[in-house]
Amino acid sequence: MNKLMTVGMVAVLAAGFANAQDDMVMVGQAPVAEQATTEVTAEAALVSSYVWRGQVLNNDFVFQPQITVSHANFSVNIWGNYDLGKNVGGIQNDFSEMDISLAYTIPLDINDFSFDVGLINYNFPGNEGTSVPSTTEIFASAYLLTFSDYVIPSVTIFGDVDEADGTYMLFDIVAPYQLSEYLAVEAGISAGWGNTSYNDYYFPNGTPSTQDKGFNDYNFYANASYELMENVTASANVTYTFLEGGSIRNAAKALYEDDNKLWAGVNIAYDF
């Protein structure tokens, strides 16, 4: 599962860094002016681990390419995760995930707010018979822009309408800073909350699972981006992720490769 780059999604995009591991790969939908032309952005990231909503799916390096096509308030994104080292399901040197996302920025005239809606379809082509089914989420995001030069709070609600049939909410607050015309940085914190169905599906603690609703993952992150030349931006990020204690953490220890992780990545983006 990825990531609305979402890895600070607004400021990440403003800084030019598309962190595919943040929850919405589709992240092009932050508060931006409507554009009349079609834009295409290709990106490639090398990341030290694959961490999705607190789940450490691979402790080894992964390669994550993606392409985004946007027009006016609409965008389409295709994102992939290629495991260079063996992941939690035993996949290595193969694509373990391919996601397709659609997003739309709602043109509402509400002061200091921006709203996005969309859909993410998760696919797992290289699961080697591990029976990892594809699933689909719909999402809605709201950003408070009153103090956007200093801090941008946001909340995104994801509703799985297929396999998990659960709800996940991502609360995020990020502080962006433009150091120069070419260099931007940001730092932020986020927390993820899941309802009972969501936590039972991703953190099962028995048969049947008896997880309660509640917060499950927390993240501290920092990103930086630099415009190397016209249409080319290089970015880097570092994130520390850890899980809620108790049954959530105990389930993660049994199911995933770790229950906390300090991970980092570099990204290169080209705007056609």
pLDDT of residue 213: 95
Tokens matching residue 168:
């996940």
pLDDT of residue 239: 98
pLDDT per residue as tens digits for the range 2-24: 443 333 333 333 333 334 455 44
State how far the Cα of 22 lies from the Cα of 5, in Å rounded to an integer: 4
Q: Please provide residue 208's backbone torsions phi and psi, each rounded to the nearest 5 degrees.
A: -80, 160
pLDDT of residue 110: 84
Asked if residue 30 has pLDDT above 50, the reply is no
pLDDT of residue 7: 33
Of the ranges 57-61, 125-129, 169-173, 218-222, which one carries the lowest mean pLDDT score?
Answer: 125-129
Average pLDDT over residues 63-87: 96
Asked if residue 192 has pLDDT above 80, the reply is yes
**Higher pLDDT among residues 49 and 27, named by residue:** 49
Residue 224: name the closest of 40, 59, 14, 6 by CA: 14
Are residues 172 and 153 in contact, defined by beta-carbon separation less than 8 angstroms?
Answer: yes
- Is the bond into 208 cis (omega within 30 degrees of 0)? yes
pLDDT per residue as tens digits for the range 94-115: 999 999 999 999 998 788 999 9
Beta strand pairing call for 38-47 and 62-71: antiparallel
**Higher pLDDT among residues 128 and 180, named by residue:** 180
Average model confidence (pLDDT) across the chain: 88
122-155 burial, b if ≥16 CB within 10 A, otherwise e?
bbbebbeeeebeebbbebebebbbeebeeebbbe
Band (pLDDT 50/70/90 cuts) for residue 29 is very low
Average pLDDT over residues 216-224: 97
Asked if residue 233 has pLDDT above 50, the reply is yes
Band (pLDDT 50/70/90 cuts) for residue 131 is low
Band (pLDDT 50/70/90 cuts) for residue 32 is very low
Band (pLDDT 50/70/90 cuts) for residue 204 is very high
Q: Please provide residue 164's backbone torsions phi and psi, each rounded to the nearest 5 degrees.
A: -75, -35
Model pTM score:
0.87
**Higher pLDDT among residues 44 and 12, named by residue:** 44
Band (pLDDT 50/70/90 cuts) for residue 206 is confident
Quick one: three-class SS letters along the chain? CCECCCCCHHHHHHHCCCCCCCECCCCCCCCCCCCCCEEEEEEEEEECCEEECCEEEECCCEEEEEEEEEECCEEEEEEEEEECCCCCCCCCCEEEEEEEEEEEEECCCCCCEEEEEEEEEEECCCCCCCCCCCEEEEEEEEEECCCCCCCEEEEEEEEECCCCCCEEEEEEEEEEEECCCCEEEEEEEEEEEECHHHHHHHCCCCCCCCCCCEEEEEEEEEEEEEEEECCEEEEEEEEEEEECCCHHHHHHHHHCCCCEEEEEEEEEEEEC
pLDDT of residue 127: 61
Are residues 266 and 236 in contact, defined by beta-carbon separation less than 8 angstroms?
Answer: yes
pLDDT per residue as tens digits for the range 157-175: 999 999 999 999 999 999 9
- Domains with residue ranges and CATH for the chain: 9-271 (2.40.160.40)
Average pLDDT over residues 119-127: 89
Asked if residue 34 has pLDDT above 60, the reply is no
Q: Please provide residue 187's backbone torsions phi and psi, each rounded to the nearest 5 degrees.
A: -145, 145
Residues in Cβ contact with 139 at an 8 Å cutoff, skipping those fewer than 6 apart: 4, 24, 116, 117, 118, 119, 120, 156, 157, 158, 159
Tokens matching residue 264:
């980092």
Asked if residue 128 has pLDDT above 70, the reply is no
